Every structure is written in structure tokens, then in C-alpha cells.
């Protein structure tokens, strides 16, 4: 069982102010209370409920308003938030969470185990885009009292997996607000009610979201800030100008132009770094709609991969920020990385030969067939890559038409309507393949769930490997299963993880206690402050 040492000492009366240099009095001399932290976002997803939509575009706002059971500490280990302690049975089928006392929802209602039970069974298991896979073997959540939630699984759940996953997939929603309603259409999805350090105030579509200090927050003396404002600034030049004039103080997850991120590294007024974003390695992706006759043939998918010079794209279009991926598990994941080489080298000759072998000869004008590509506009590099793919495939006789939509429209077109041939965007790796990666390949996710397997492709072998690895308690065996899985999905290629990259944030040095844990961009900012 894990309990937070600071909380335990404090409740016992042992954690007292004293002569130590890090006492509350000493800290108070340097910390500025109050003020506004304005951050820039390059798009909006229109859903502000992290219990039904897992995405950094959601977390960056709602993690300050809605809280999870656990988060990551500065060392990258799960630490208590709404859960203060936990224990698992040896068979991995039962997890008991002890919940924090004295926590209220922003509408004044008490937070209890009933909220955890409802959210887990009615949101994470049914609607959350990564949660549906993670919790597929969750049978029940028992609530013997208001401060205890017991998760019961039909197959073993590795403790390290569950705790790491709950940092992203463990946000708790208020049962009394959602029960008896259409969960997906509840107004609280855009005006969230949480237990966090900041209370939702207003969401003006296309302009901003505002949250203000929660005066009744359970962490005494926090938060330091009076208000957080998230401004939607999609124009890259305008976003950088806003940072340089002080209108915004931070920009997370590569929201500025690649050129400006590179330039601002040498500006003393800002910190440009991947620090505080380590929990979210990411890939540029190419997704194939296998309902399309040509793309249902794996030879065509492999031919497309061989036609694209990923190294050239990295070196010349994204300022060398990244390297060629070797599969869906990044090299930074030392616990699971199988040590592969990039599976598809740039080889136009091999690409042409595979297309000929598949029966798609060049026709009039040298064209074999045409495809529709939908970019999911996560960042500046996505449209760049879409154009690069278009030009690369033209060289092997595949005509590509790019369909540009806003982020919400692209997500609906690809994952709900299946109205695409190719899609390109980002995949994020969150510490364990079962958290947000294998769901890109396993069948069975509900239609419309973003960043899941909606490609009309299914493999019994892949599904079995995913399930077996996610329920294997022995770490060495889990790693071996994932190595086998990587080999299989690299070969079948329903999705191509093209690059391996780290996010960058640009932050004014007027901001303090920032990027001090691996999920800071998606964290609660309760201890962050700005110079007065």
C-alpha cells in the first residue's frame, strides 16, 4: 500500500513549521500569491470532460478543474491526488483505493466513492477513448463506504499499468451531475464541475476558457494563482507575438511554430524545453482506412511507407526535432522498448515494385489510383507532413487529395464517419503500451472514439497479444509479449508510426514552479505562481 508521507505526517501533527530553509514561512517570502497565468492553445476540441475524452488538448485545461485519482510526482512515480492510498491482491484482480476526506465538488456536494464507481463504470469503461480498452475487464467497483472504492477485474491488472494509466485515464466526474442524463450531451462536458484548484468560469468558443481560484480547495493555502486563462490562438505568428509581448506566459505541446521554438531557445526571457513534458513522447502517424480496396492490401501499405523519406522530413521540415521511429513503443520507454530498427527504409524502387505486384499499374499520366488524406491538425508539422506525403506518393503514381478541416471536424471525419483513405496526426505514448498505444491497433473500440482503431482492420493475433500483455503480471513476460506485438503490427502496418519526438514548451521566466513534474502541461498547476 502507498500513502503520502507528507499527508501522514501532517495529519499526525508532525509536519510542522521550523527552522528548515524550506519552511512555509521561508517559501512565503518568495512566492507571489494572486495574478493571472494566461496560456496559448493552438486549437480546441469542444469537449472539456477528461472522463470521456482523453487528450492533451482536454487535459491542458480541465486538469486544473477536474482531478484524477493519482498523478505523477517529480520522479515520475504515481502519487496521491483524490486517492490517498491503494493496494492490490496478489492475483491482480482486486484493487482497493482509499479516497481523500474533506473534498467537495465545486457546486458544494461532497466527493465520495459513489463518484468513482459511477465514473469508472459509466464513463471510463463505456466512452473514454483509451479507457474502454484499459477497463474492458473491469466487472464492478464496490463502495463499502464513502472513502473506499474496490475495483474488481475478471483478468489480472498489472499494478504499474493501472496506476500509470490512471494519471491520464482516472479523472473523476460528479455522479450527481451526470447520472440519469445522456452522458455525451450533458452540459457539464463543456462547463466542467470538478474538485480541483480552479473552478470553471466561462468558455467562449474560438476565443478563451477562464477558470478562477477555488477558495475551498482541499490543499490548504493553494492554489497561488487567482485565475488561469487559456487563449485559443491558431495563427502561429500571432501566438509568438502574444508570448513576446507578455499577453500569454506559456505555450505547451509544440503550439508555436517550429521556427520560433528554435529561435526562442536563445532568448533569455524564455525557457524552451521538453522538461515537464517527458510523460508524453509522441509520433507522427499515417493511418490507413483498410475499407478502401487498395489499402486493404498490405503490399500497398508497405509501398506507401517505402515511398516516404522520413529522415528528409525530420531534417528539413521540422528542424531535426526527432528521429525515425522503430515502431509504436519509443526508445525512451526502457521498460518496454524492444530495440528494433526502422521497419521501412526509403526505397522508391521497392515501392513501385510492390504496387506493380499488387496489380496497380500506372495509367494515363502515370497515376495508379487516388487517395483522400485528412490531416488531424495537432501541430504545425501535421500539414507539413500531409503535403510531404502528397508529394512523395505522387512520385510512385499515387495521387493524394488533402482535405483540410478544423480539429473537431477532422476527428469526426476519421473516427466517427470513417470518411477518409489516409489520416495523419500525432500518437502519444504515456509510459506503458496499454495506456494509449495498443488501442490504436486492438479492435473493439466504440465508433467515434478518437485515436483508436477505426480503420476497418482487425487481427485476432494482435488482439490476443494486446489482451495477454495487458493482463500479464510478470514484467519480463510483459516486455516479451510487447516485443512480439511490435513485430506483428510493424509488419501488418494498419498505422505507421513514422517519427519519434519529444514535445517542447515555451514559457516566460516570470512563471515559477512550472514544468516541475513529467505531466506539468496536463497537471493541475496548484503550486505554480507568477511574478507580480
Strands 227-232 and 36-41 come out as: parallel
Same domain, 213 and 229: yes
Q: The domain that contains 233 carries what CATH number?
A: 3.40.190.10
462 and 313 both lie in a single domain: yes
390 Cβ contact partners less than 8 Å away, ≥ 6 residues apart: 373, 400, 402
Residue 30 lies in a domain: no
**What are 144-200's pLDDT values in tens digits?**
999 999 999 999 999 999 999 999 999 999 999 999 999 999 999 999 999 999 999
pLDDT at 257 exceeding the cut of 50:
yes
Residues 117 and 219 in one domain: no
* 372/464 same-domain check: yes
Residue 493 has pLDDT above 60, yes or no: yes
Question: What is this structure's pTM?
Answer: 0.81
* Statement to judge: residues 224 and 285 lie in one domain: no
- The answer as to whether 168 is a domain residue is yes
Cis peptide upstream of residue 223 (ω within 30 degrees of 0): yes
pLDDT tier at 30, thresholds 50, 70, 90:
confident
pLDDT tens-digit series, residues 288-317 = 999 999 999 999 999 999 999 999 999 999
Number of domains in the chain: 3
Q: Would you say residue 22 lies in a domain?
A: no
Same domain, yes or no, for 174 and 219? no
Are 152 and 231 contained in the same domain?
A: no
Residue 25 reports pLDDT greater than 60: no
Q: What percent of the chain has pLDDT over 90?
A: 85
Domain that includes residue 288, residue range: 281-500
pLDDT digits (tens, 9 = 90+) for 360-403: 999 989 999 999 999 998 788 999 999 999 999 999 999 999 99
Phi, psi of 426 (to 5 degrees): -125, 145
Tell me if 107 is assigned to some domain. yes
Strands (E), 358-515: 369-375, 398-402, 422-424, 426-429, 495-497, 499-500, 505-508, 511-512
Average pLDDT, integer, range 404-424: 95
Say if 234 falls within a structural domain: yes
pLDDT at residue number 308: 98
pLDDT tens string 219-254: 999 999 999 999 999 999 999 999 999 999 999 998
Which residues neighbour 246 within 8 Å (Cβ) at sequence distance 6 or greater? 508, 510
The predicted structure's pLDDT at residue 277: 86
Residue 21 has pLDDT above 50, yes or no: no
At residue 382, the pLDDT reads 95
Considering the domain boundaries, does residue 41 fall inside one?
no
**pLDDT single digits (tens) 501-530:** 999 999 999 999 999 999 999 999 999 999
Name the average pLDDT for the chain: 92
Let me know whether 154 and 246 are in one domain: no
User: Taking each helix axis from N to C terminus, what angle separates 381-394 and 310-317, rounded to the nearest 10 degrees?
Assistant: 140
**What is the rounded CA–CA span in Å between residue 486 and residue 242?**
42
Query: What is the pLDDT, as a whole number, of residue 280?
Result: 81
The answer to whether position 519 is within a domain reads yes
Query: Are residues 166 and 250 located together in one domain of the fold?
Result: no
Q: 393 and 494 share a domain? A: yes
Same-domain status, 388 and 289: yes
Query: Which CATH number covers residue 295?
Result: 3.10.105.10
312 with 295, same domain: the answer is yes
Give per-residue pLDDT as tens, 320-364.
Answer: 989 999 999 999 898 999 998 999 999 999 999 999 999 999 998
The answer to whether residues 218 and 102 touch, using CB atoms and an 8 Å cutoff, is: yes
Query: Can you give the pLDDT at residue 247?
Result: 97
Per DSSP, what are the bridge partners of residue 99? 83
pLDDT for residue 26: 40
CATH of the domain at 141: 3.90.76.10
Residues 6+ positions from 505 with CB-CB distance below 8 Å: 250, 251, 252, 253, 271, 272, 273, 274, 276, 277, 515, 521
- State which of 144, 179, 214 marks the end of a domain: 179
* Confidence grade of residue 408 (pLDDT, cut at 50, 70, 90): confident
pLDDT above 70 covers a percentage of the chain that reads 95
Q: Is residue 193 part of a domain?
A: no
**pLDDT at 212 (0 to 100):** 98
Q: Where does residue 206 fall: left (phi above 0), alpha (psi -120 to 50 degrees), or beta otherwise?
A: left
Q: What's the confidence (pLDDT) of residue 8?
A: 34
Amino acid at each position: 500500500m502507498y500513502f503520502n508521507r507528507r499527508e501522514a505526517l501532517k495529519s499526525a501533527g508532525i509536519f510542522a513549521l521550523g527552522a528548515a530553509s524550506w519552511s512555509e514561512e521561508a517559501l512565503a517570502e518568495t512566492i507571489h500569491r494572486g495574478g493571472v497565468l494566461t496560456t496559448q492553445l493552438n486549437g480546441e476540441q469542444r469537449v472539456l470532460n477528461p472522463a470521456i475524452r482523453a487528450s492533451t488538448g482536454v487535459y491542458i485545461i480541465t486538469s486544473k478543474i477536474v482531478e484524477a485519482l493519482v498523478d505523477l510526482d517529480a520522479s515520475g512515480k504515481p502519487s496521491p491526488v483524490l486517492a490517498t492510498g491503494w493496494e492490490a491482491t496478489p492475483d491482480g484482480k482486486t484493487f482497493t483505493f482509499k479516497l481523500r476526506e474533506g473534498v467537495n465538488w465545486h457546486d458544494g456536494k461532497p466527493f465520495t466513492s459513489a463518484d468513482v464507481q459511477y465514473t469508472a463504470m459509466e464513463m471510463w469503461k463505456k466512452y473514454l477513448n483509451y479507457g474502454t480498452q484499459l477497463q474492458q475487464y473491469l466487472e464492478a467497483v464496490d463502495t463499502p463506504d464513502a472513502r473506499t472504492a474496490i475495483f474488481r477485474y475478471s483478468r489480472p491488472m498489472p499494478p504499474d499499468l493501472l496506476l500509470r494509466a490512471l494519471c491520464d485515464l482516472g479523472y473523476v466526474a460528479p455522479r450527481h451531475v451526470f447520472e440519469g442524463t445522456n452522458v455525451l450531451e450533458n452540459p457539464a462536458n463543456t462547463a466542467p464541475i470538478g474538485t480541483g484548484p480552479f473552478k470553471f468560469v466561462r468558455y467562449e468558443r474560438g476565443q478563451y476558457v477562464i477558470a478562477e481560484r477555488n477558495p475551498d480547495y482541499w490543499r490548504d493555502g493553494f492554489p497561488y494563482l487567482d485565475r488561469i486563462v487559456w487563449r485559443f490562438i491558431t495563427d502561429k505568428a500571432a501566438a509568438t507575438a502574444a508570448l513576446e509581448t507578455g499577453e500569454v506566459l506559456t505555450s505547451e505541446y509544440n503550439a508555436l511554430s517550429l521556427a520560433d521554438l528554435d529561435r526562442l531557445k536563445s532568448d533569455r526571457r524564455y525557457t524552451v524545453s521538453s522538461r515537464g513534458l517527458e510523460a508524453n513522447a509522441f509520433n507522427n502517424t499515417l493511418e490507413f482506412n483498410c475499407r478502401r480496396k487498395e489499402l486493404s492490401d498490405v503490399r500497398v501499405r508497405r509501398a506507401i511507407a517505402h515511398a516516404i523519406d522520413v529522415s528528409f522530413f525530420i531534417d528539413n521540415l521540422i528542424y531535426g526535432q526527432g528521429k525515425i521511429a522503430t515502431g509504436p513503443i519509443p526508445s525512451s520507454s526502457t521498460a518496454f522498448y524492444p530495440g528494433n530498427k526502422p521497419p521501412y527504409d526509403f526505397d522508391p524502387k521497392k515501392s513501385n515494385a510492390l504496387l506493380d505486384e499488387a496489380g496497380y499499374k500506372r495509367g494515363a499520366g502515370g497515376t495508379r489510383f487516388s487517395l483522400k488524406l485528412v490531416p488531424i491538425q495537432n501541430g504545425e508539422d501535421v500539414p507539413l507532413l500531409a503535403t510531404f506525403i502528397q508529394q512523395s506518393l505522387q512520385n510512385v503514381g499515387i495521387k493524394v487529395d488533402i482535405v483540410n478541416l478544423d480539429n473537431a471536424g477532422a476527428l469526426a471525419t476519421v473516427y466517427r464517419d470513417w470518411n477518409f483513405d489516409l489520416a495523419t496526426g500525432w500518437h502519444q505514448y504515456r509510459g506503458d503500451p496499454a495506456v494509449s498505444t495498443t488501442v490504436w491497433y486492438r479492435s473493439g473500440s466504440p465508433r467515434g472514439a478518437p485515436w483508436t482503431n477505426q480503420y476497418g482492420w482487425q487481427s485476432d493475433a494482435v488482439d490476443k497479444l494486446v489482451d495477454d500483455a495487458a493482463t500479464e503480471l510478470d514484467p519480463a513476460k510483459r516486455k516479451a509479449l510487447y516485443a512480439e506485438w511490435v513485430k506483428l503490427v510493424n509488419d501488418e502496418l494498419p498505422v505507421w508510426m513514422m517519427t519519434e519526438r519529444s514535445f517542447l514548451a515555451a514559457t516566460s521566466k516570470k512563471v515559477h514552479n512550472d514544468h516541475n513534474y513529467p505531466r506539468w502541461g496536463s497537471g493541475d498547476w496548484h503550486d505554480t505562481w507568477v511574478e507580480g
